Structure 1
Amino acid sequence: MSFRPNRLMHLADWLLLVVAFVWGTSYGVVKHALAFYPVLGLLALRFALAFVLLSPALRSLRGVSRKTLGGALLMGALLLAIFLCEAFGLAFTRASNAAFLVSLCVVFTPMVEWALLRRKPVRVEWVAVAISLAGAWLLTGGLHALNGGDALILLAALLRGFSVCVTKRVMHDGALDPLAVTAVQAGCVASGSAVLALIFAPAQWQPLPSLAAHFSFWGCVLWLVLGATLFAFFVQNYAVRRSSPTRVALLMGSEPAFGALFACVWLGERLDAAAWIGGALIVAASLLATVQFKRADAATLAEAANA
C-alpha cells in the first residue's frame, strides 16, 4: 500500500498556509504599488506578466475538451470578478470592514460546497469556521455600518467560495495542468482589466514608472507576479484537487492573521491585545482543520490496511 497520496495532501496543506502568508503580505505590497499606478492598470500589468511567464504551459491544453476548457475560463472570469470587487470595494470602505468581510469566505464556502458539490461539511469544520469568524471579528475590530464598498467586498467573499468549489469541480478529474489553468486565469484577469480600463476608465492607462526612479514599485510588482500570482494560484489549483473546498478555505482563512503580522513588521502598524487574540484564533482554526483531517486520513489508511 502506498502512502504517497496522503503525503501529497499534507504537503498541500502546508503549501496553502504559505500561500495564506504570501497573500497576507500582498495587501501592504499592493497598497504601496497603488501609490505609483492606478488599480486597473496595476491588475493588467501584474497578470499580463504572469500570463507571459506561464504561456508555455498552455501547450498542455491541446486535446482538452471544450467543456473542460470552458471550466478553466469560468475560473478565470470568477477571479477577475473577485479582484474587481475587492479593488473597488476597498476604495469605498474602511480597511477593518474589508478585512472582516473578505474573511467571511470561510463561512460562505461550506454552504456553497454543500449546495454545489453536495458535500455536507462535518461538525469539526463548522467549529473551525466559527472560531475563524470570531478571530476575524477580534482582529479587525468588528463590523461597522455597511455601505456600497462593503457590499462589493461581501460579494468578493461569496465569489471566493464559488471559485474554490468551481476549481474543485474543474480540477477533479486531473485533465488540466495546474500551471495551464493558472495561465488561463492570469490571461482572463489581464485582458478583462485592460478592456474595462479602455472602455470605462481611460485615465487608468498611464506611462509605467521608470525602473531607475521607482525601484520599490517594480519590486512590489515582482513580488505580486511571482509570489502572489504564479506561486499562489498554482498551489491553490494543485491543492484543491486533493482536498475539499471547505478545508482549503479554512487553511486560507489564516490570511488576515498573516496580513496583520506583516503590517506590524513592515508597515509599523500596531495591534491591540484583542487583535492578537483574534489572529491566534484564526491560526488555531486552520490548525484544527489540518489536524482533524490528518486523523481522518490516518483512520482511512488503517481501515484500508485491515481490509
Structure 2
Amino acid sequence: MPRQSQQERLLLMSDLMLLAVAVVWGTSYGVVKSALAFYPVLGLLALRFGITFVLLSPALRHLRSADFRALRGVTLAGALLLGIYLCETFGILLTRAANAAFLISLCVVLTPLVEWWMLKRRPSRVEWIAVALSLLGAWLLAGDGTFAFNPGDALILAAALLRALIVCVTKRVMRDSALPPLSVTAVQSGVVAFGSAAAAWLFAAGQWRPLPSLAGHPAFWGYIVYLVLACTLFAFFAQNFAIKRSSPTRVSLLMGSEPAFGALFAWLWLGERISLTAWIGGAMIVAASVLATVRWRAWRVSAANA
C-alpha cells in the first residue's frame, strides 16, 4: 500500500511538472520572438542548447554504463528534437500563425497512434475523448477556422509527427535503460546544439554573427537565461522525468495545453487581442488536459468505497 501511494505521488508530481512545462513553453514563443530580433534562428538554437549542454555535461558520466541500445535511442531522440526545432522554426516563417497553431497541435492526435504502433499500448476511451476535445479546442484557438495548405504547413505537420515520435522513443529509452533524465537531456541538448551549428556552417553562413554584447543588450541575455534555465533545462528534464512514469498519450495531452497558455501569455505580456472563440478553444484544451490527468478508475473505486 505505501508503495502504491508513493507511485501515485510520483505520477501526480510528474503531471504537475508537465503542466508547468506547458506554461513555460507557452511563454517561450514570445520570448523567442523577442530574442530573434537580436540574433538569427540557427545561431540562437546553437547558443541556447550549447549553453545547456555545457551546464549538463557532468551528467554525461552516466553514459559510460549505458549499453549500445540505450546510446542509440537517446541519440535518436536528440536527432528528432533537432528536426522538431528546425521544422517548427522554418515552417513558421512560411505559413500563418493560425495554421501553425492548429497543425502542431495534431501531435496530440498522432501520439496515441504512434504509441499504439511502437509500444503496443492501446489508449483508453477517456484518452481518445480528451484527444478529440483538444483537437477541437486547437481548431478554435487557431483563429477564424479557415485553412489553406502551403509548403510551410508541411514542415509544421512534420514537426507534429516528430513530436509524437520523440515522446514514444524517449519512453522506450527511459523504460529500457537506467539513464537519469538529466543525462538524456544533456545528450538531446548536445545534438541540437551541434546540429544547428553544422546546419548554419553548411547551408546558411549568414546565420553566424557576433554575439550581442552583455552591456549593450542586457534584454537579449535575459531572454537567453530564461530560455536555457526554464524552457530547456527544467522543461526537458521534467518531460523526460514524466515520460518514464507515464504513458506518451498522457504526456502529450498534458503538453497539449501549451497553445492555451501561449495565448494567455500573448494577451497579458504582448497585448495581443484574443477573440471569444479563441478563449473557448483554449478552455477546451485545458479541460482535455484535466480529463487526461484525473485517474478516473481510482476515483470511481474511491467513491464506491466511501
Judge same fold: TM > 0.5, yes or no: yes
Query: What is the TM-score normalised by the length of structure 2?
Result: 0.96
Q: Which amino acid aligns with 2:82?
A: L
Of residues 101, 119, 122 in structure 2, which corresponds to 1:120?
A: 122
Aligned pairs (5 A) from 1:236-275? 236-275=239-278
The structural deviation recorded for 1:118 is: 0.9
- How well do the aligned residues superpose, as a CA RMSD in angstroms? 1.4
Query: What is the TM-score normalised by the length of structure 1?
Result: 0.95
The structural deviation recorded for 1:60 is: 1.4
Partner of 1:305: none
Question: For 1:198 and 1:167, how far apart are their aligned partners in 2?
Answer: 29
Partner of 1:296: 297
The structural deviation recorded for 1:212 is: 1.3
Tell me if structure 1 keeps the 8 A contact 2:66–2:177.
no
- Worse-matched range after superposition: 191-200 or 57-66: 57-66
Tell me if structure 2 keeps the 8 A contact 1:86–1:156.
yes
The structural deviation recorded for 1:280 is: 0.3
Q: Structure 1 residues 245 and 143, CA, compared in 2 at 3 Å: closer, same or farther?
A: farther
Of residues 161, 179, 188 in structure 2, which corresponds to 1:185?
A: 188
Q: Which digits, 9 at most, give the CA deviation of each residue in 1:176-221, with x for residues without a partner?
A: 1100100000000000000010010000000001111111111111
Q: Which digits, 9 at most, give the CA deviation of each residue in 1:35-70, with x for residues without a partner?
A: 110000000000000000000111111121011111
Tell me if structure 2 keeps the 8 A contact 1:137–1:143.
no
Residue 136 of structure 2 corresponds to residue 160 of structure 1 = no
Of residues 133, 145, 148 in structure 1, which corresponds to 2:151?
A: 148
Aligned pairs (5 A) from 1:1-307? 1-2=1-2, 3-141=5-143, 142-291=145-294, 294-297=295-298
- Helix, strand or coil at the partner of 2:212: coil
Q: Which digits, 9 at most, give the CA deviation of each residue in 1:72-107, with x for residues without a partner?
A: 101100000000000110110111111111111100
Q: Percent identity?
A: 67
Question: For 1:301 and 1:53, how far apart are their aligned partners in 2?
Answer: 45
Tell me if structure 2 keeps the 8 A contact 1:6–1:297.
no
The structural deviation recorded for 1:299 is: 7.1
The structural deviation recorded for 1:143 is: 4.8
- Helix, strand or coil at the partner of 2:25: helix
The structural deviation recorded for 1:6 is: 1.2
Unaligned runs of 5+ in 1: 303-307
The structural deviation recorded for 1:295 is: 3.0
Q: Which amino acid aligns with 1:95?
A: A
Unaligned runs of 5+ in 2: none
Question: For 1:217 and 1:255, how far apart are their aligned partners in 2?
Answer: 23
Aligned length, in residue pairs: 300
- Helix, strand or coil at the partner of 2:65: coil
Tell me if structure 2 keeps the 8 A contact 1:72–1:184.
yes
Question: For 2:95 and 2:184, how far apart are their aligned partners in 1?
Answer: 32
Tell me if structure 1 keeps the 8 A contact 2:49–2:189.
yes
- Helix, strand or coil at the partner of 2:94: coil
Q: Which amino acid aligns with 1:156?
A: A
Tell me if structure 2 keeps the 8 A contact 1:100–1:143.
no
- Helix, strand or coil at the partner of 2:102: helix
- Helix, strand or coil at the partner of 1:144: coil
Tell me if structure 1 keeps the 8 A contact 2:70–2:177.
no
Q: Which amino acid aligns with 1:295?
A: W
Question: For 2:160 and 2:225, how far apart are their aligned partners in 1?
Answer: 26
The structural deviation recorded for 1:297 is: 4.8
- Helix, strand or coil at the partner of 2:221: helix
Q: Which amino acid aligns with 1:231?
A: F
Question: For 2:25 and 2:269, how far apart are their aligned partners in 1?
Answer: 14
